[in-house]
Amino acid sequence: MSDKLLLEVENLQKHFPIRRGFLQKTVGYVKAVDGVSFTLNRGETLGVVGESGCGKTTVGRSLLRLIEPTGGKVTLHTETGKFNLLELNQTELKRLRPRMQMVFQDPMSSLNSRMTVGDIIAEPLVVNNICKGKELNDKIASLLEAVGLRANDTRRYPHAFSGGQRQRIGIARALALRPDLIVADEPVSALDVSVQAQILNLLQDLKSQYQLSYIFVAHDLGVVEHISDRVAVMYLGRIVEIGETRRLFTYPKHPYTEALLSAVPVADPRVQHSRQRIRLQGDVPSPANPPSGCHFHPRCRYAAEICKREVPLLREVAPNVFAACHLASELKLQGVELLHTAPQEGK
Amino acid sequence: MSKEQTTPESPAPLLEEEQEADLGRLSYRQLVWRKFRKSRLAVIGGVILVTFYTLAIFAEFFAPYDYQHDNVRLQYVPPQGVHFFGEDGFHIVPFLYGLKQTKNPESGELTYVADRSKTYPVHLFHHGDKYRFFGLISTDIHLIGSEGPFYLIGTDRMGRDIISRIIYGGRVSLTVGLVGVFLSIILGSILGTVSGYWGGLTDILMQRFIELLSSFPTIPLWMALAAALPSNWSGIQVYMGITVILSLLSWGGLARQVRGKVLATREQDYVLAARAAGASHWYILMRHLLPTAYSHIIVIATLSIPGMILGETALSFLGLGIRPPLTSWGVLLEEAQRVTVVLNSPWLLIPSLPVVLVVVAYNFVGDALRDAADPYAS
């Protein structure tokens, strides 16, 4: 099961046009996602991390065609065959939509406050004509129970629930169609730390219960480390490193990953003090006007001449670890001990 | 002590949870109503509006006279008091004196003196002018009336009772706003939704058109449009024409607000979730975008009705709107245009009072609705 390919993403691109002036002429492009490739196996969780604006949310939305990608190929493997999602017309896409659902970041804006919880969870089922009447009600009740809410909450409105509970409602809605893949776009970022742990655990329970695969977008490395089998690190619209979680955290192969990891707090004060904190110089460059060569070179402390000229390709630098760095095999980068001893686990 | 701490545990939290659950089941509309009710000004405004609309709907019954009931011998009668004390002491039933008219031979000015020899009692459910109730039941019962000159706030140039004319005029003035706003809601919400949801060139063109429309000076535009109405149209046709003119000019603002709301809602995650589930554009529009814009539309509508009422009043005042014999508050005020008339018969200005009251009441209600429209913000 776990080795079966579910999703293949090749060279995914999303360029937002910058329009100016009265006639809205296109004067340039923001390359929010610029050639992202990865694969996802069934039953796997891929964490996607990166700073704000690096394109991780756009990747998630482009996969589901909630944003129309500019180019690339997204192949979804199902029992009935493979489909390139980006080539499907609306009817075909609608048929495949139930396979992939989304959980959103903001539990306030992800639920329509005018609708009851029952109606919210029923929406995907009603839209796809899956069931109605008593069958629908039973299904809603069982979904509510699956996410840890009470079955008689259906007639209540979202405003009566806390942030964590609302997130559970959003998860129930995503589960309603029994998808293969859930794209979770920072599902815990807006929640309290204690609630974060509950939602993460819920997601993990549901994963085995419903045979789900996740693409888990986040900027909190602790959270990503906790839930992911593999992690992809994004910088300015590109994946700079992707690999198995434990390996990537302990032996990062890309200087950007190293810098990110150095910002992760370690619970042990002795370790924390002895660690070297890498401060990146400057800001993230504008994706409308990215630096030449390696996008990261102006902020990279190891940057060499080649980094300014040539775009590094994502290549396998260690078993199952891919990094886009010219110097990947030469650098000895500092990682972080696995955080499984960190407080998140205890709660 | 420990007993006290443990015993209240079982019943109290249950009650609290029941209350909370109760609140959780309140729909958006119920929450808005809860919040709206708390505004005292809104309640006052609401009462004023209900009163005026009731008066307008049952105008025949509430007005002492028919609005066309004239009496050439009683022109420009000043407001008449109702008396309880006569020369023969206290009367339980209030009464009026008769009127004696004298004419100033030099200026031709008419003055009225109470004729104390004649008294007329005021009746409830008085049998006065005949009318057909909603065009169905033929009757002559008026809430209040008298055999004598029952002119509480005076008469006009044709000897017609002003209070009756105000009540009848309210029919036109109060509904011209409603009908006009209804039309502009339809135009504004359809065009605003289209503009906001599809965006692109449609959006740009529509926004520029609205700007063009709103940058036109209103009064010349009204005049042009009103002049376009054929002069042989009947009063009702003119009335409909006026509402259409007013709404054609006022949908732009509403369309803009709806567009803004749709633009904001379109990017909400729950709309994305619906799209991810495979919902059609139509479903999203009807289920998510329009309902979210409703509250906004209602607020804008409530706040724009006064504009419509004032628009009608202004048009009619300029002689471009409703034309006699049909009456409206604007028509009534038109008669108070000449300075000499106002100097000699200031009571002709009284029809401006209901205009002010209704406009203020609508604003109170609209403001409270706007505040209540977001019941989730604590």
Q: In angstroms, rounded to a whole number, what is the distance separating the alpha carbons of residues B343 and B229?
A: 34
**What is the number of residues in chain B?**
378
The answer on pLDDT for A4 being more than 60 is: yes
Contact A127 B24 (CB under 8 A): no
Interface residue A162 vs chain B (CB under 8 A): no
User: Which stretch of DSSP H or E encloses residue B255?
Assistant: helix B235-266
Chain B residues in contact with A123 (beta carbon < 8 A):
273-274, 277, 279, 287
* Option in B21, B27, B276 nearest A102 (CB): B276
**How far is the alpha carbon of B294 from chain A, nearest alpha carbon, in Å?**
11
The pLDDT confidence band at residue A338, using thresholds 50, 70 and 90, is: low
pLDDT digits (tens, 9 = 90+) for B229-287: 787 877 677 777 777 877 787 788 888 888 888 888 888 899 999 999 988 888 998 88
Strand arrangement of the beta sheet that strand A81-84 belongs to: A25-41, A5-20, A71-78, A81-84
Residue A344 has a pLDDT of 42
Percent of chain B beyond pLDDT 90? 4
Residue A44 has a pLDDT of 92
Cβ neighbours of residue B97 closer than 8 Å, sequence gap 6 or more: B83, B114, B115, B116, B118, B119, B120, B148
pLDDT digits (tens, 9 = 90+) for B317-364: 877 777 777 788 888 888 777 777 777 788 888 888 888 898 899 888
Q: In angstroms, rounded to a whole number, what is the distance separating the alpha carbons of residues B208 and B192?
A: 13
ipTM above 0.90, yes or no: no
By C-alpha distance, the chain B residue nearest A183 is B276
The answer on pLDDT for B15 being more than 50 is: no
Contact map slice: B 252-281 vs A, CB within 8 A:
268-270, 272-280
Averaged confidence pLDDT in chain B: 79
Contact B268 A94 (CB under 8 A): no
Q: Shortest CA distance to B361 belongs to which of B62, B153, B53, B57?
A: B53
Contact A114 B278 (CB under 8 A): no
Which residues are paired to A315 by β-bridges?
A: A323
* Option in A102, A114, A155 nearest B273 (CB): A102
Contact map slice: A 174-233 vs B, CB within 8 A:
174, 177
Cβ atoms of B371 and B35 within 8 Å: the answer is yes
The answer on pLDDT for A103 being more than 70 is: yes
Record the pTM: 0.76
Give the residue with greater pLDDT, B143 vs A213: A213
By C-alpha distance, the chain A residue nearest B293 is A114
Contact A97 B278 (CB under 8 A): yes
pLDDT digits (tens, 9 = 90+) for A142-164: 999 999 998 888 888 888 888 89
Contact B276 A109 (CB under 8 A): no
- Hey, how many other C-beta atoms are within 10 angstroms of the C-beta on A311? 14
The pLDDT confidence band at residue A81, using thresholds 50, 70 and 90, is: confident
Q: In angstroms, rounded to a whole number, what is the distance separating the alpha carbons of residues B78 and B151?
A: 8
The pLDDT confidence band at residue B7, using thresholds 50, 70 and 90, is: very low
The pLDDT confidence band at residue B22, using thresholds 50, 70 and 90, is: low
Residue with tokens 């049998």: B127
Percent of chain A beyond pLDDT 70? 96
Q: In angstroms, rounded to a whole number, what is the distance separating the alpha carbons of residues B213 and B259?
A: 17
The pLDDT confidence band at residue A240, using thresholds 50, 70 and 90, is: very high
Contact A157 B28 (CB under 8 A): yes
Residue B373 has a pLDDT of 77
Contact B273 A173 (CB under 8 A): yes
pLDDT digits (tens, 9 = 90+) for A269-309: 777 777 777 888 778 888 888 888 888 988 888 888 888 88
Contact A64 B277 (CB under 8 A): no
**Pairing relation of β-strands A25-41 and A5-20?**
antiparallel
Residue A38 has a pLDDT of 92
* Option in B20, B27, B279 nearest A157 (CB): B27
Which of A200-204, B89-93, B100-104, B248-252: highest mean pLDDT? Answer: A200-204
Q: Which token pair is B294? A: 């409703």
Give the residue with greater pLDDT, B77 vs A249: A249
DSSP A246-305: HHHHHS--SHHHHHHHHTS--S-HHHHHHSPPPPPPS-PPPTTSPPSSSTTGGG-TT--H
Q: Does domain B48-55+165-372 have CATH number 2.102.10.10?
A: no
Contact B269 A110 (CB under 8 A): yes
The answer on pLDDT for A264 being more than 90 is: no
Cβ neighbours of residue A195 closer than 8 Å, sequence gap 6 or more: A162, A163, A164, A167, A188
Chains A, B: CB pairs < 8 Å: 82
pLDDT digits (tens, 9 = 90+) for A38-77: 999 999 999 999 888 888 899 999 999 988 899 899 999 9
pLDDT digits (tens, 9 = 90+) for B23-37: 677 777 888 888 888
C-alpha dihedral (B52, B54, B56, B57), degrees to nearest 10: 160
Residue with tokens 């006279």: B65
User: Which stretch of DSSP H or E encloses residue A238?
Assistant: strand A238-244
Contact B276 A173 (CB under 8 A): no
Half-sphere exposure of A192 (CA within 13 A, CB side): 9
- Hey, how many other C-beta atoms are within 10 angstroms of the C-beta on B239? 22
The pLDDT confidence band at residue A230, using thresholds 50, 70 and 90, is: very high
The answer on pLDDT for A123 being more than 90 is: yes
Q: In angstroms, rounded to a whole number, what is the distance separating the alpha carbons of residues B124 and B143?
A: 5
For chain B, domain boundaries: 48-55+165-372, 74-157
Contact A102 B272 (CB under 8 A): yes
* CA angle, residues B104, B108, B110, in degrees to nearest 5: 65
Q: In angstroms, rounded to a whole number, what is the distance separating the alpha carbons of residues B39 and B47?
A: 13
Alpha helices in chain A (DSSP H): 56-63, 90-96, 117-127, 133-146, 163-175, 193-210, 221-227, 245-250, 255-262, 269-274, 305-309, 343-346
Residue A26 has a pLDDT of 82
* Option in B278, B283, B291 nearest A114 (CB): B291
Residue A122 has a pLDDT of 92
User: Which stretch of DSSP H or E encloses residue A214?
Assistant: strand A213-218
The pLDDT confidence band at residue A2, using thresholds 50, 70 and 90, is: very low
The answer on pLDDT for A345 being more than 50 is: no
Half-sphere exposure of A157 (CA within 13 A, CB side): 18
The pLDDT confidence band at residue B74, using thresholds 50, 70 and 90, is: confident
Q: In angstroms, rounded to a whole number, what is the distance separating the alpha carbons of residues A54 and A162?
A: 30
Cβ neighbours of residue A131 closer than 8 Å, sequence gap 6 or more: A125, A139
Give the residue with greater pLDDT, B260 vs B149: B260
For chain A, domain boundaries: 5-228, 238-346
For the segment B86-103, the average pLDDT, to the nearest whole number, is 77
Q: Shortest CA distance to A213 belongs to which of A78, A68, A36?
A: A78
Residue B130 has a pLDDT of 78
Chain B residues in contact with A157 (beta carbon < 8 A):
24-28
The answer on pLDDT for A329 being more than 50 is: yes
Which of A25-34, A180-189, B230-239, B291-300: highest mean pLDDT? Answer: A180-189
The answer on pLDDT for B16 being more than 70 is: no
Its CATH architecture, for the domain A5-228, is 3-Layer(aba) Sandwich (3.40)
Residue A241 has a pLDDT of 93
